[in-house]
Amino acid sequence: MSFGQILFTIGMPMLIGAILIVPAWLVPRIRALSGIAGSALGVALGMALVVAFMAEAGVPSLPPAQKWHMLPILACGIVILCPVVAIVDGSGEVGRWLISIASGGIIGWLAVFPGLDLLGQILLGVWVGVSFMVISWVSHRRRGVTVTLSITLVFAALSILCMQAHFITLTLIAGALSATSGIGFVTAFISERWGPEVPVAFAGFSTDDRELPTRSLAIGWGGAFAVASLVPLVAFCGWAYNVGDVNWVHWGLVAGAPLMLGIGELPGLHHRDGFWWFLVRVGLVAIPIVLSLVLLFSGAGLDSDSGSTDQDHMYYMNQG
pLDDT digits (tens, 9 = 90+) for 292-315: 999 998 875 555 555 554 444 444
Please enumerate in sequence order all residues whose Cβ is within 8 A of that of 137, keeping only pairs 6 or more positions apart, or say none: 96, 262, 265
Task: Break the chain into its structural domains and give their ranges.
Answer: 3-298
Residue 116 is predicted with a pLDDT of: 81
pLDDT digits (tens, 9 = 90+) for 9-67: 899 999 999 999 999 888 877 777 767 888 999 999 999 999 999 998 888 887 888 88
| Single pTM value for the model | 0.88
Cα gap 171→159, rounded to integer Å? 5
Q: Average pLDDT for residues 252-263, to the nearest whole number?
A: 95
Residue 252 is predicted with a pLDDT of: 95
Surface-to-core class of residue 299, CB atoms within 10 Å of its CB (0-12 exposed, 13-18 middle, 19+ buried): exposed
How confident is the prediction for the chain on average, in pLDDT? 84
Largest CA distance in the chain: 60
Residue 225 is predicted with a pLDDT of: 96
Residues counted in the chain:
320
Residue 195 is predicted with a pLDDT of: 64
Q: Are 220 and 82 in contact (CB under 8 A)?
A: no
Residue 201 is predicted with a pLDDT of: 41
Strands (E), the chain: none
Q: Average pLDDT for residues 96-105, to the nearest whole number?
A: 94
- Which of 107-121, 137-151, 214-228 comes out lowest in average pLDDT? 214-228
Q: What amino acid occupies position 200?
A: V
DSSP 8-state class, residue 263? G
- Which of 64-78, 146-160, 183-197 comes out lowest in average pLDDT? 183-197
Residue 92 φ/ψ region, left for φ over 0, alpha for ψ in the -120 to 50 degree band, beta for the rest: left
Residue 196 is predicted with a pLDDT of: 60
Q: What angle do CA 125, 249, 127 make, to 5 degrees?
A: 15
Residue 56 is predicted with a pLDDT of: 87
Q: Are 175 and 156 in contact (CB under 8 A)?
A: yes
Q: What angle do CA 292, 245, 180 make, to 5 degrees?
A: 55
Cα gap 320→318, rounded to integer Å? 6
- Which of the two residues, 165 and 317, has the higher pLDDT score? 165
Q: What share of the chain is helix, strand, coil (3-state, %, to 5)?
A: 70, 0, 30
Residue 8 is predicted with a pLDDT of: 86
Cα gap 240→295, rounded to integer Å? 19
Q: What percentage of the chain has pLDDT greater than the value 70?
A: 86
Residue 213 is predicted with a pLDDT of: 47
Residue 34 is predicted with a pLDDT of: 60
- Which of the two residues, 92 and 34, has the higher pLDDT score? 92
Q: Are 56 and 192 in contact (CB under 8 A)?
A: no
Residue 156 is predicted with a pLDDT of: 97
